[in-house]
Chain A
Amino acid sequence: MPKDGGIGASSKRREDVRFLTGAGNYTDDINLRGQAYVYFLRSDVAHGTLNNVDTSAAEGMPGVLKVFTGADFAEVGGIPCGWQVTDRHGQPMQEPPHPVLAQGKVRHVGDPIAAVVAESREQARDAAEAIEVDISDLPAVMDMKEALKEGATKVHDDLTSNLCYDWGFVEENKGAVDEAIKNAAHVTTLELVNNRLVPNAMEPRVAVGDYSRATDDSTLYTTSQNPHVIRLLMGAFVLGIPEHKLRVVAPDVGGGFGSKIYHYAEEAFCTFAAKKLNRPVKWTCSRSEAFISDAHGRDHVTKIELALDADNNFTAVRTETYANMGAYLSTFAPSIPTWLHGTLMAGNYKTPNIYVNVKAVFTNTVPVDAYRGAGRPEATYQLERVIDKAARELGVDPIELRRQNFITEFPYATPVAVEYDTGDYNATMDKLLEIIDKDGFQKRLEESKAKGKLRGLGINCYIEACGIAPSNLVGQLGARAGLYESATVRVNATGGITVMTGSHSHGQGHETSFAQVVADMIGIDESMIEIEHGDTANTPMGMGTYGSRSIAVGGSAMVKATEKIIAKARKIAAHLMEASEADIELKDGQFTVAGTDKSVAWGDVTLAAYVPHNYPLEEIEPGLEETAFYDPANFTYPSGAYACEVEVDPETGKVTIERFAAADDFGNVINPMIVSGQVHGGLAQGIGQALLEQTSYDADGQLLSASYMDYAMPRADDVPFYNVDHSCQTPCTHNPLGVKGCGEAGAIGSPPSVVNAVVDALQRAGHDVTHIDMPLTPSRVWAAMQG
């Protein structure tokens, strides 16, 4: 029986009313009195020495307030990196400076060279065209393997090479892994590319800097997934503004997918320029600009080997990955191919020996950082592709090969340093086969044949590490931040509640699902609860939203704070009913004394807290407001099994997805409708990566797919009606809600099933095709069929 409120209910997303009626308040909706506009002049070459930037003509143009260049930021810090990776030899990664505006060199198409602040956007842009830039072109460093060769052109002259780090994990296991591969009955090898993606959130980035001469306070309004992180990074490392003099506001944000985690130069610029000019300064990114300035995702080149014994048990996995960092280190870039990727290489399987090598490389491309899934899609894709290839080589059923190697006992410590708390991989596989109707595949295959189409079925599993993350652990791994979360629960006198969370919602529906949790705990209606987020001035220091962490970490902080509220409210209720606190029960918003008919309502207690006429003032303080910080004990491990059925047009190579099913184990689920929506969105992005999204640079470092004319985002008719299920639930054992997180699963789990399905279709039709690199565009599939 579906619930009509609280945990487990598909409550309608309350925020959608404003989003769908044009009443949202996005950063671009914020316009301040006296606001000026900035236009960034960006490099149109990928690599070059910046000989001179002549701004004299631009400065005299109508409306221009000031033209800034790199020299204006000589006294200011660069954009910091938030994670230091230590290499195989115990040395820290190479970490180049990242100036706000280019100094000395430009390193990718889109690198900002100068910034014009003017009375209007058009005036700023007009003046930017009058800036004379003298650049001596240098060879563009594009191919990662070439970039690491002796004598290669360097992206950063002060570094010893283009190698950021050469990471081995677990380095001590390397010998045993090599030995296991040498002794294996069978080794399957696969070389593949995990294609670079441009995030393309619906709302482009925007920043508005403001400064008060009266108080010397700075405010930044920005499209961010984590305003507190931006305040800390920008205040402490770039501009030298202490937190109490800096406010960062991230209001309604139209999608992030990782791209709005990072601290970007434009944010620092607007804050800096607002103070310099004593005027609010606004920047609104155009879509074209977003393609060359938002951090990109993925871009791995990998060789994976899977070793099996004579009984088809997995004995070892060895990988070698080249991970593109782009021209500079974005905020969390170094952690993505390492800790968010290497630790997942066990997947759902009890492989005893695993070694992951990652070489992170600087190139003259847009910086690469986390994008929905972040490292985990890369791990899942290579592992689930190589397992499929192994099954074909061995002539065994790919599902049975997986089942045979599933981890079935929990907790399970992998050889790659993480411990899965719960899971039931057979249960999600069983559910998957039911909802994809695997038994009906043969019939559908015949129907496709009759239409002249090839049909294929691809299946894979995934596991992810979410609920990021235990602070002491990530500190050891090189994070320069804690990854706890916070919440303040403010109960108002008449019983309504305002929750201020350090999490941030940019489409996830926190305002609805977080309210459901608090409503459920107290037994009051969801409408009595308001969720506030995004403003450092009124929310406790929190780390924001990414890594499917909000309900698992932010939700847990909120539960802890609400528990404190309830504990205090019980004391007040006991006083009001002249009973022992031990006898007080809370149900449906009523406090009762066990075994009696005495009761007081939630509102009576909250009123007493703020109008403490009859109140135990000698024992407890008046008021009802509590804050909690929650630091998770472990990651959470959502898992699942996905299936994709495709039709391939043998004449054109066009792939259409006919069926897609996802059986996920997210632990307990707060709002099933929102969870389904999250999976749908993730699937669209995973299918986009698998079939459509192609980030293409030419040899000179020009981005060829720099607009929607050439970069194909998935549209409604590119994706099927999904069949998603999250009824298999093994609750997380270490957070109070038993939740695991659902935001990234779809994007992590779906690319291998699409590719497995296409390879299956081609092989069934007699084509000797074992792999095609994503995206599987019609031309690539057709070319593969030609042999």
Chain B
Amino acid sequence: MYAFEIERPSTVADAVKLLKQSDENQALGGGQTLIPTLKQRLAAPEVLVCLSGIDEIKGVCTDDEGRICIGGGTTHGDVAAGSGAYPALVWLARNIGDPAVRNRGTIGGSLANNDPSACYPAAVLASGATVVTNERDIAADDFFEGMFATALNEGEIITEVKFPVPEKANYQKFEQPASRFALVGVFVAKFADGVRVAVTGASEEGVFRWTEAEEALSGTFSASALEGLSVPADGMISDLHGSGAYRAHLVGVLTRRAVEAA
């Protein structure tokens, strides 16, 4: 890696101040994407602003509305341990990467990176969660802006993610054989006022909602409601692990399985 300075602020305010000092400064969450990138010399920040010493963005609690509120700096392991009221989210967190990844990687880091194959974006979008930053609240539907792109501004830090807890939910992840990221992942969440279905791994545009399925399932929350529905292969990722047609097919299979398992 190239030489860089590292700062270890203990408050969000200090971290933001450091990040805003220069465009070349970069926030470091758990480092599960950024550190390998640095090792390959694919990034050259002047200053890494390490967020792991900021206690105010760690931990899981429940707010007055019953939402599960997870600090942006909470590791996947701690998300799994603290989100018992939302079993689908627990399962998702518990199946990210390996123990080393789960003990370092953070939900805020994952969402800010918005890898098109990451798991959390599916949970956030399907749950209609709210992404809280040092500046504002961002609705899930407004947060994801395509592969590796989000609504975050420069120097904006995810401090918390608030998940409404659905009546029923399930996450189905079909792993890419090498990376074990989601080749396709489908998160289905049934709320009193409707069903949300979010798909990760499949689309060239990153995580998306499968609205036809949502409408059908909001009518009848049963696998049979999905009969005849499919997503088009156009715009799906095609690579050595699977064609766009295969991914589109998997979206249908996994959605049905998620409904059955929810």
Contact = CB atoms under 8 A, between A and B. Distances in A.
Contacts of A705: 178, 240
Interface string A686-719: 0000011010100000001100111111000000
Given A652-B253, A709-B179, A694 B174 contact: no
A708 B183 CA distance: 15
A458 to B, nearest CB: 20
B241 A777 contact: yes
A122 B3 CA distance: 9
Contact of B178 (A652, A709, A778): A709
A125 B2 CA distance: 10
Contacts of B3: 122
B113 to A, nearest CB: 14
Interface string A668-695: 0000000000000000000000011010
B122 interface: no
Given A710-B240, A777-B241, A782 B178 contact: no
Nearest to B181: A709
Counting chain A CB atoms within 10 Å of each CB, the highest count among B3, B179, B183, B240 belongs to B240
B178 A779 contact: no
Given A709-B178, A710-B178, A779 B253 contact: no
Counting chain B CB atoms within 10 Å of each CB, the highest count among A129, A692, A709, A713 belongs to A709
Contact of A779 (B40, B41, B246): B246
A696 B174 CA distance: 21
A712 to B, nearest CB: 4
B243 interface: yes
Contact of B240 (A129, A651, A704): A704
B53 interface: no
B67 interface: no
A288 interface: yes
A710 B246 contact: no
Contacts of A711: 178
Given A782-B246, A783-B246, A651 B179 contact: no
A777 B177 contact: yes
Given A652-B174, A652-B253, A782-B249, A710 B179 contact: yes
A288 B40 contact: yes
Contact of A710 (B174, B241, B243, B253): B241
Counting chain A CB atoms within 10 Å of each CB, the highest count among B41, B177, B240, B250 belongs to B177
B179 to A, nearest CB: 5
B177 A778 contact: yes
A122 B177 CA distance: 33
Nearest to A651: B253
Contacts of A691: 177
Interface string A710-736: 111100000000000000000000000
B235 interface: no
A652 B172 CA distance: 13
A783 B242 CA distance: 9
Nearest to A779: B242
Nearest to A711: B178
A704 B239 CA distance: 9
Contact of B177 (A696, A712, A783): A712
Contacts of B243: 779, 783
Contact size range, B:
10 to 19
A778 B240 contact: no
A778 B184 CA distance: 12
Interface residues of A, number: 24
Contacts of B41: 125, 129
A712 B177 CA distance: 6
Contacts of B179: 708-710
Counting chain A CB atoms within 10 Å of each CB, the highest count among B178, B239, B249 belongs to B178
B240 A652 contact: no
Contacts of A710: 178-179, 240-241
Contacts of A651: 253
B255 to A, nearest CB: 12
Interface string B9-26: 000000000000000000
A713 to B, nearest CB: 8
B246 A694 contact: no
A777 B178 CA distance: 11
Given A709-B179, A777-B177, A694 B253 contact: no
A692 B246 contact: no
Interface string B36-51: 0000110000000000
Contacts of A708: 178-179
Nearest to A126: B2
A564 B249 CA distance: 70
A199 to B, nearest CB: 16
A22 to B, nearest CB: 18
Interface in A140-155: none
Interface string B143-182: 0000000000000000000000000000000100111000
Contacts of A782: 246, 249
Interface string A615-657: 0000000000000000000000000000000000001101000
Nearest to B240: A696
Given A708-B178, A711-B178, A694 B40 contact: no
A125 B39 CA distance: 12
Nearest to B177: A712
A694 B177 CA distance: 10
A654 B239 CA distance: 17
Interface in B45-95: none
B250 A694 contact: no
Contacts of B183: 778
Contacts of B177: 691-692, 712, 777-778
Interface string A118-145: 0000100100010000000000000000
Interface in B96-155: none
A783 B250 CA distance: 12
Contacts of A704: 239-240
Contact of B242 (A122, A692, A713, A778): A778
A694 B249 contact: no
Contacts of B242: 777-779
Interface in B207-262: 239-243, 246, 249-250, 253
A565 B40 CA distance: 55
Contacts of A652: 174, 250, 253
Nearest to A705: B240
Nearest to B252: A651
A779 B177 CA distance: 10
Contacts of A778: 174, 177, 183, 242, 246
Counting chain B CB atoms within 10 Å of each CB, the highest count among A692, A708, A711, A712 belongs to A712
Q: Which 10 A-B pairs have the closest CB atoms?
A: A779-B242, A712-B178, A712-B177, A709-B179, A696-B240, A779-B246, A651-B253, A710-B178, A692-B177, A704-B240
22 contacts: A122-B3, A654-B174, A692-B177, A694-B240, A705-B178, A708-B178, A709-B178, A710-B178, A710-B240, A710-B241, A712-B177, A712-B178, A777-B177, A777-B242, A778-B183, A778-B242, A778-B246, A779-B242, A782-B246, A782-B249, A783-B243, A783-B246
Interface of B: 3, 40-41, 174, 177-179, 183, 239-243, 246, 249-250, 253
Interface of A: 122, 125, 129, 288, 651-652, 654, 691-692, 694, 696, 704-705, 708-713, 777-779, 782-783
Given A652-B174, A654-B174, A710-B240, 19 more contacts: A651-B253, A652-B253, A704-B240, A708-B178, A709-B178, A710-B179, A710-B241, A711-B178, A712-B178, A713-B178, A777-B177, A777-B242, A778-B174, A778-B177, A778-B242, A779-B241, A782-B246, A782-B249, A783-B243
